[in-house]
Structure 1
Amino acid sequence: MIRGYRAELLSVGYDPRDAPDAVRHEPDGLLVVEDGIVVARGAHADLAEQFPDVEIETLPGLVVPGFVDAHVHYPQTDRIASHGEQLLDWLNRHIFPAEKAFVDKAHAEGVAAFFLDELLRNGTTSALVYPTVHEQSVDALFEAALERNMRIVSGKVLMDLGPDGLKDTVASGRAETERLIRRWRGRGRLGYAVTPRFALASSDAQLADAGALLAAHPEVLLHTHLAENVHECAAVEARFPGAADYLDAYDRFGLVTPRSVFAHGIHLSDRAFARLHDSGAGIAVCPSSNLFLGSGFFDFGRADRHRVRLGLGTDVGAGTSFSMLHTAGLAYQVALARELRLDPFRALYLATAGSASLLHIGDKVGALEPGQEADFVVLDCAATPLLERRTRANELAERLFALQILGDDRAVARTYVLGECAWQRTSP
């Protein structure tokens, strides 16, 4: 089935840092979709006559690619906005007790359904997601994602040094991971990630086994945390005294690869940034959680000097919003704290094609180019009185920046997955 959507279209398919002409904008555009795939895109005046028999729907608002969340924890949904602690104490006080409940498949199913619906309500159509140590937590998430046709990458958390009720063993972690890969490989729009929680949660033997899993399954990602908090970094330094730095603690086990996604990366040396660049690994920048937990400000300038691949993550539940618009606005503020002015088009890139590239799904989503899947969001610049006043008659860059600073889920009018409306705001 072929459908056409007429709207103002905007995407940033390449990093403006490296490609000054990366912004693609059609003020009066036409997006043609067949069986969930973009088959044509351009100015309405140029394309409409090529598709005379296609029914065209006009979408009021600014249409951008579906957002791609490069790092988020679905089991932490119910612990968002938990008070009073930095990372390690926050995990022990708030998160580990909540994650123990995911031993119950029914509980996992309920949270997974709410979580994915919340992503769609915020315009997020693809995500790299942490579950828990429990095998059934992955099944619950993937089953819910299949029902919604979402592009979700996830994988059982490995943590043989975790607290009682929330730990595995090297053998059980390996066996459960292998089963999950076999069970879910090639189904729908799903992908798998080998997921050691962080360096302190796994023994040397389990970290080595994670490296062996990556080598045995070259199609999967590596997803973990890196250099998020100063106390965490000090503990890692004490645990791995022979390592050059936190990244090297992973590298010695074969975990730094072109398919490795490291969340945070706030407290990194130039050596680590250089190694990330050389390996092709990248960082999911998570400004909301870094601010909420008092972890620090990501150094965009240093990452750019080393040409490190970047994406953007909400990191719920340490992150305080599912909105990638809001997260992009916080990324601007974090960058400015280090005297770097993050361009709104680059912020959009990080929230869409940049995260997609980091997750190795950039050929599928992120730019609304022909051949890609038709995941997109309709943004309403008049969603609130203040936003309408601030964006009225302004140029594109200023409107986009206002959406990132003032916008959130209220600015999402509709979310489309494979060309089908998956969520629609029912009231202004």
Structure 2
Amino acid sequence: MMTQAYRASILYCLDEPARVGAAAYRYHEEGLLWVENGRVRQVGDYAQLAPTLPTSVEIIDYSGYLLTPGFIDTHVHYPQLPMIASYGAQLLDWLETYTFPTELGFAEYDYALQIAEAFLDELLRNGTTSALVFATVHPASVEAFFTAAQARKLRMIAGKVLMDRHAPAGLCEEPETAYHTSQDLIQRWHGQARLAYAVTPRFAPSCSPELLDVAGSLLQADSSLYLHTHLAESTAEVRWVAELFPGAQHYLDVYERAGLLGARSVLAHGIHLCEGACQQLSRTSSVLAHCPSSNLFLGSGLFPMRRYQEQGIRISLGTDVGAGTSFSMLKTQGDAYRVQQLQGELLEPMQAFYLATLGGARALALEQQLGSLQPGQEADFILLDPQATPLLAQRYAQSQSIADTLFMLNLLGDDRVIAATYILGELAWKRAVTC
């Protein structure tokens, strides 16, 4: 029986801070996390818990570090790793100029596997332990991603992209072919180890009504599948959807008519939504994945978080690499703060932390397994070093509270803050120590 304990400052959420305030989180300044067989056995104050441990349990001392659940990225494109930080263009031009040419290469399994491995290593280096991931239209891109994720024992959700129009021929397929290919991938990978499958129409403009119906049929056949797509990212996109689907009441109605909305549906962006779409999102319990770094980079617009929260819409966070410019969920939280500031609103540090951990788990219906550090949960956790750089160390010396420390990390931190990443209680990545 594999059992260890970790001494550190420990922070995790039990609920949403914006809804219940300080009762939503637990902070143990001198804490102890006991892990047994890949799951949390117990968590609490060091002084109280340490004397109760069996003498056989090794205590690993991470004093001075902050231990939290691993981050959960609810919208990211692994095939776009090679094109991250490409200059210029807004959404629709970005797709034509960079995304589609890059994704054509993923028909080749060995190349897809190479990028998938580099992508997953980058996630771990940034403290992200689970993600909802776009592949490409090619089955090989899904096979490669799940193979690499399974080898690392990661909890990942992904699916092949569905497109049959407005893209290069090498990225399009007939609806019937898409249905059978998706079925084969679902049967092979969905529910294997810690993996799950997401039906993944790229976005409404790239899908005919027939292909969207295929996506709906796949979801109807298995209620445990996820739906992952894009929604109302730019105003030009919204206008295009209105032209392509004149019978729909609004953009989101296109997805509703195809049976794509529900509690396991995650729609990235959702910046430009009418009142009817907001009501539809709330009624169906669908999730908006807020991707602030990408929205700022492409000039797509400002996500109206307060408006959506007031309407009961579920929200999570995504990096949206490669339009997003960093794998770091710390930087993503910092960008989310900036987006709200530009609208005269505030995003509290603890709420941002919730969105990146338990909020992400709830968005993916995984809150029983992930996102907190409750007994019985899978022990995916990270160690944050609040003194990882000279500037951080100087600022940390002035920190007045755990919320202040979080805010500091979000605004000044990056991958250097991640000291170690653990998957199922096993060390998966550790920062090299340099002199």
TM range (shorter): over 0.9
**Whole-angstrom distance in 2 between the partners of 1:270 and 1:382:** 45
> 1:102-156 CA deviation, whole Å, 9 max, x = no partner?
0111110000000000000000000000000000100100000011111110011
Equivalent residue number for residue 268 of structure 2: 263
Equivalent residue number for residue 374 of structure 1: 379
Residue 393 of structure 1, CA deviation: 4.3
> 1:190-210 CA deviation, whole Å, 9 max, x = no partner?
011000000011110010111
**Whole-angstrom distance in 1 between the partners of 2:333 and 2:46:** 29
User: Is the contact made by 1:75 and 1:132 (CA closer than 8 Å) also made in structure 2?
Assistant: yes
Opposite residue 211 of structure 2, the aligned amino acid is Q
- Is residue 2:428 matched to residue 1:422? yes
Equivalent residue number for residue 85 of structure 1: 89
Equivalent residue number for residue 2 of structure 1: 3
**Whole-angstrom distance in 2 between the partners of 1:176 and 1:386:** 51
Residue 299 of structure 1, CA deviation: 0.4
- In structure 1, the gaps of 5 or more residues are none
- Is residue 2:402 matched to residue 1:396? yes
Residue 357 of structure 1, CA deviation: 0.8
Which of 156, 164, 171 lines up with 2:169 in the alignment?
A: 164
Equivalent residue number for residue 113 of structure 1: 117
> 1:387-406 CA deviation, whole Å, 9 max, x = no partner?
11111141211111000010
Which of 95, 99, 105 lines up with 2:99 in the alignment?
A: 95
Residue 186 of structure 1, CA deviation: 2.4
Residue 356 of structure 1, CA deviation: 1.1
- Is residue 2:132 matched to residue 1:128? yes
> 1:67-94 CA deviation, whole Å, 9 max, x = no partner?
0000000000000011110001110011
Opposite residue 160 of structure 2, the aligned amino acid is K
- CA-atom RMSD, angstroms? 0.9
Which of 57, 62, 77 lines up with 2:60 in the alignment?
A: 57
- Is residue 2:317 matched to residue 1:316? no
- Counterparts of 1:11-410 in structure 2, within 5 Å, are 11-20=12-21, 21-53=23-55, 54-60=57-63, 61-161=65-165, 162-394=167-399, 395-410=401-416
Q: Which moved further from structure 2: 47-56 or 249-258?
A: 47-56
3-state secondary structure, aligned to 1:165: helix
Residue 424 of structure 1, CA deviation: 0.4
Opposite residue 42 of structure 2, the aligned amino acid is A
User: Is the contact made by 1:11 and 1:368 (CA closer than 8 Å) also made in structure 2?
Assistant: yes
3-state secondary structure, aligned to 1:18: helix
**Whole-angstrom distance in 2 between the partners of 1:317 and 1:238:** 28
**Whole-angstrom distance in 1 between the partners of 2:43 and 2:275:** 41
**Whole-angstrom distance in 2 between the partners of 1:33 and 1:120:** 19
3-state secondary structure, aligned to 2:188: helix
**Whole-angstrom distance in 1 between the partners of 2:61 and 2:283:** 45
**Whole-angstrom distance in 2 between the partners of 1:187 and 1:257:** 23
**Whole-angstrom distance in 2 between the partners of 1:406 and 1:12:** 22
Residue 417 of structure 1, CA deviation: 0.6
Identity, % of aligned positions:
51
Structure 2 length normalisation: TM-score? 0.97
> 1:262-290 CA deviation, whole Å, 9 max, x = no partner?
00000011221121111110111000000
**Whole-angstrom distance in 2 between the partners of 1:118 and 1:259:** 26
Opposite residue 399 of structure 1, the aligned amino acid is T
User: Is the contact made by 1:158 and 1:173 (CA closer than 8 Å) also made in structure 2?
Assistant: yes
Residue 218 of structure 1, CA deviation: 0.6
> 1:233-258 CA deviation, whole Å, 9 max, x = no partner?
11001111121211111111111112
3-state secondary structure, aligned to 1:138: helix
User: Is the contact made by 1:69 and 1:124 (CA closer than 8 Å) also made in structure 2?
Assistant: yes
**Whole-angstrom distance in 1 between the partners of 2:200 and 2:370:** 23
Opposite residue 104 of structure 1, the aligned amino acid is E
> 1:357-412 CA deviation, whole Å, 9 max, x = no partner?
11111111111111111111100111111111111141211111000010010111
**Whole-angstrom distance in 2 between the partners of 1:186 and 1:86:** 37
Opposite residue 199 of structure 1, the aligned amino acid is A
Residue 187 of structure 1, CA deviation: 1.4
**Whole-angstrom distance in 2 between the partners of 1:377 and 1:405:** 19
User: Is the contact made by 1:12 and 1:346 (CA closer than 8 Å) also made in structure 2?
Assistant: no
Opposite residue 31 of structure 2, the aligned amino acid is G
Runs of 4+ displaced beyond 6 Å: none
**Whole-angstrom distance in 1 between the partners of 2:189 and 2:105:** 23
What number of residue pairs does the alignment pair up? 428
> 1:51-73 CA deviation, whole Å, 9 max, x = no partner?
13211111141111100000000
**Whole-angstrom distance in 2 between the partners of 1:262 and 1:416:** 28
3-state secondary structure, aligned to 1:404: helix
Structure 1 length normalisation: TM-score? 0.99
**Whole-angstrom distance in 2 between the partners of 1:348 and 1:381:** 15
3-state secondary structure, aligned to 1:39: strand
**Whole-angstrom distance in 1 between the partners of 2:14 and 2:345:** 22
